[in-house]
Amino acid sequence: MSSLFRSANDKIEELLDTAKNNEIDIGSRKKHSITRTILIFIMGILFVIAIWWLIAEIYNIYFVVSLQFPTPKSVFTQLWSYLSGQNFLRVSIYQHIEASLFRWIKGFAIACMIGLVIGLILASNNSVYEFGIVPVNVLQMIPGLAWLPVTILLFGFGESAAVFIIAIAVISPIAISVATGIRKVPTVNIRVARMSGRSHFEIMTEVLIPFAAIDILNGLRIGMANAWRMLIAAEMVVGVAVGLGFAISQTTSTLDYVSSFVCIVVICAIGLIIDKIFFENIERYMRRKLGFEEAS
Amino acid sequence: MGVIDISGVYKAYLNRKGNKAQIVLKDVNLTIEENEFLCIIGPSGCGKTTLLNLIAGFEKPQRGEIKYRGKPITGPSSELAVVFQEYSLLPWMDLQKNVEFSLDRKKYSQKERGEIAKKYIDLVGLGGFADQRPNLLSGGMKQRVAIARTLAMQPNVLLMDEPFSSLDEQTRNRLDKEILEIWNKEKRTVIFITHNIDEALLFGTRMIMLSSSPGRVAGEWRIPEGPRDLLSEEMIALKKDILSKLQTCSCTTRTSSIIKIGE
């Protein structure tokens, strides 16, 4: 346990006297750090579950009126039986997950394209930015579900409405981070490209976007998380017949809180997997690829 | 007509509040001749870099005109290439790719670009590092790559903006020698900004001094061509003259150079 939280500096300090030719052999650092990362992550998850369990037990012992607070044990048992094929609101849990994932991908993809274009336009010059950031900020200030009346007017109820709510809530963070990232590119690098006769398009694709890649990726990451949260909220209100958000609102109204919690657990797990495994690795890869890691 | 003709150029910049503009260059007139190595010296903040940016076409003067071979300069071009004061390499490209980046794709094939880049990386003595990326190199090496990149463009006029100011004395001396060698090998017009008088005396065929706030040509010296000994009596006398002139060009901002734009 104590070795898990030890920093690299502590290790170096301990091994200082073993130095040969001014070099200290740290051992297989890479392998060690991956297991360390995973172990710390699992401990974090276990901590959350422990807190949940504590609250559930206290509630169930001292405050319970009629319904039990779902405990981790009951929720994970229920999750297991859904995963092994038990019917969940007329379909399997996999179909709920699939429906939600597809909506999320659609909404997120649309928002990415629009957000990227808006971001690039905003970054194109100072006056455009000063003017254009205003509507983007306005957009950002509107909570996703406040779009409900507009959504119903434009799309009615159902699939497209859910996708619209996701997209509209995600466009602005992406646009803002793309624009900020590109505006941070050093003037001198743009000047080199202009002097070398590169066209505006070439400067954009070969200098601006690579330079801003990490900022853009962070925007996508925030957008992804926003989209995922919006998806669940949207499904709860715009009347779709399948999906995790729909399942939460249904099970809540039938007082099947254990199943609601199952949905929450699944939602968290998917979100974490996408963020930790997908985005974190892309970011690490890009940092290496773009040579930013080498600067210190 | 010279290679570059600067006539009656004024340049002023707004301050942060935007209520005042500071005149940085005031009525600058200057002609730069073919194959001249012109060194521009002057106190910091006297508009040396501004003048260079105007010549390179990155910025436009508010009044006056700058012509390159008789034609007004409208924007940056590879004819007038700059070695920048700050690091300007792209961190994700190795040295070879960084140098290739500045070469015109319409003019050269991929293979030609590779060969030219290699030649100039060798020229600045970094042949063994062509596949390294800039962030792993020292400051001096990065600046040498920047020089190689600019030379590879084969510009008609080479503009250098204190290219070695961020480097230590030893590296600077070595690069000074390299620049001199390169200029002797491939004669061309060079405008070199520095605040190191020795450096200017070592390279220049002519030297001008800009006074500060507002910058204007405050002094001009011709330097005898050919190899020179900075410790010869002639050079020491010249340096004394320049130093005394530099002291009279004080760095204080004269209020006359500030324009009020309104409260």
Instruction: Write out pLDDT tens, residues A107-157.
Output: 999 999 999 999 999 998 889 999 999 999 999 898 888 888 999 899 988
Contact B56 A196 (CB under 8 A): no
Which residue in the set B82, B91, B136 is minimally distant from A195, CB to CB? B82
Contact A294 B136 (CB under 8 A): yes
DSSP string, chain A: -GGGG--HHHHHHHHGGG-BTTB----SHHHHHHHHHHHHHHHHHHHHHHHHHHHHHHIIIII-SSSPPPPHHHHHHHHHHHHTT--BTTB-HHHHHHHHHHHHHHHHHHHHHHHHHHHHHHHT-HHHHHHHHHHHHHHHHS-GGGGHHHHHHHH-SSHHHHHHHHHHHHHHHHHHHHHHHHHTS-HHHHHHHHHTT--HHHHIIIIIHHHHHHHHHHHHHHHHHHHHHHHHHHHHHTT-SSSHHHHHHHHHHTT-HHHHHHHHHHHHHHHHIIIIIIIHHHHHHHHHHHT-TT--
Which residue in the set A195, A210, A294 is minimally distant from B81, CB to CB? A195
Give the span between the Cα atoms of A50 and A71, in whole angstroms: 10
What is the model's pLDDT at position A4? 63
Mean pLDDT, range A272-292, rounded to an integer? 86
Asked if residue A2 has pLDDT above 70, the reply is no
What are the E-state strand segments in B137-180? 157-161
Confidence of residue B200 (pLDDT cuts 50, 70, 90): confident
What is the model's pLDDT at position A244? 92
What is the model's pLDDT at position B261? 65
Query: For residues B188 and B21, is the Cβ–Cβ distance under 8 A?
Result: no
What is the model's pLDDT at position A213? 92
Instruction: Write out pLDDT tens, residues B226-259.
Output: 777 778 888 888 888 888 887 766 544 455 566 6
B97 touching A (Cβ < 8 Å): no
| Residues of A with Cβ-Cβ distance to B149 under 8 angstroms | 192
Confidence of residue B169 (pLDDT cuts 50, 70, 90): confident
The minimum CA-CA distance between A201 and chain B, rounded to whole Å, is 14
Closest chain A CA to residue B107: A197
| Residues of A with Cβ-Cβ distance to B135 under 8 angstroms | 291-292, 294-295
Asked if residue B13 has pLDDT above 50, the reply is yes
Asked if residue B260 has pLDDT above 70, the reply is no
Instruction: Write out pLDDT tens, residues A250-270.
Output: 999 999 999 999 999 999 999
Query: For residues B84 and B146, is the Cβ–Cβ distance under 8 A?
Result: yes
Mean pLDDT, range A159-172, rounded to an integer? 91
Q: Report which of residues A285 and A47 the model is more confident about.
A: A47
A189 touching B (Cβ < 8 Å): yes
What is the model's pLDDT at position B253? 47
Confidence of residue B24 (pLDDT cuts 50, 70, 90): confident
Contact B84 A186 (CB under 8 A): no
B133 touching A (Cβ < 8 Å): yes
What is the model's pLDDT at position B257? 62
Say which amino acid occupies A110. Answer: I
| Residues of A with Cβ-Cβ distance to B148 under 8 angstroms | none
Instruction: Write out pLDDT tens, residues A59-72.
Output: 999 988 888 899 99
Name which of B59, B92, B162 to mutate to probe chain A: the one with the most chain A Cβ atoms within 10 A of its Cβ.
Answer: B92
Contact A195 B90 (CB under 8 A): no
The minimum CA-CA distance between B137 and chain A, rounded to whole Å, is 10
Q: Report which of residues B7 and B180 the model is more confident about.
A: B7
Contact B75 A194 (CB under 8 A): yes
What is the model's pLDDT at position A184? 92
B14 touching A (Cβ < 8 Å): no
Closest chain B CA to residue A196: B102
Mean pLDDT in chain B? 85
Left if phi > 0, otherwise alpha if psi is -120 to 50, otherwise beta: which for B38?
beta
The minimum CA-CA distance between B136 and chain A, rounded to whole Å, is 6
Asked if residue A161 has pLDDT above 80, the reply is yes
Q: Report which of residues A92 and B219 the model is more confident about.
A: A92
Mean pLDDT, range B119-144, rounded to an integer? 87
Mean pLDDT, range B95-108, rounded to an integer? 90
What is the model's pLDDT at position B252? 47
Q: What is the ipTM of this complex?
A: 0.82
What is the model's pLDDT at position A31? 57
Instruction: Write out pLDDT tens, residues A168-196.
Output: 999 999 999 999 999 999 999 999 999 99
Mean pLDDT, range B179-189, rounded to an integer? 81
Mean pLDDT, range B65-81, rounded to an integer? 92
Closest chain B CA to residue A294: B135
Mean pLDDT in chain A? 88
Burial class of residue B86, CB neighbours in 10 A (0-12, 13-18, 19+): middle
| Residues of B with Cβ-Cβ distance to A191 under 8 angstroms | 56, 58, 76, 82, 84, 88
| Residues of A with Cβ-Cβ distance to B134 under 8 angstroms | 291
Confidence of residue A295 (pLDDT cuts 50, 70, 90): low
Closest chain B CA to residue A194: B76
Mean pLDDT, range B52-64, rounded to an integer? 93
The minimum CA-CA distance between B223 and chain A, rounded to whole Å, is 31
A194 touching B (Cβ < 8 Å): yes
Pick the CATH number of A99-239+266-289 from 1.10.357.10, 1.10.8.640, 3.40.120.10, 1.10.3720.10: 1.10.3720.10
Contact A196 B134 (CB under 8 A): no
What is the model's pLDDT at position B258? 63
Q: What are the tokens at A229? A: 């949260």
Q: Where are the domains of chain A?
A: 99-239+266-289
Confidence of residue A32 (pLDDT cuts 50, 70, 90): low
Asked if residue A198 has pLDDT above 70, the reply is yes
| Residues of A with Cβ-Cβ distance to B84 under 8 angstroms | 188, 191-192
| Residues of A with Cβ-Cβ distance to B76 under 8 angstroms | 191, 194-195
The minimum CA-CA distance between A83 and chain B, rounded to whole Å, is 45
Q: What percent of chain B has pLDDT over 70?
A: 94
Name which of B14, B135, B137, B162 to mutate to probe chain A: the one with the most chain A Cβ atoms within 10 A of its Cβ.
Answer: B135
What is the model's pLDDT at position A212? 93
Confidence of residue A11 (pLDDT cuts 50, 70, 90): confident
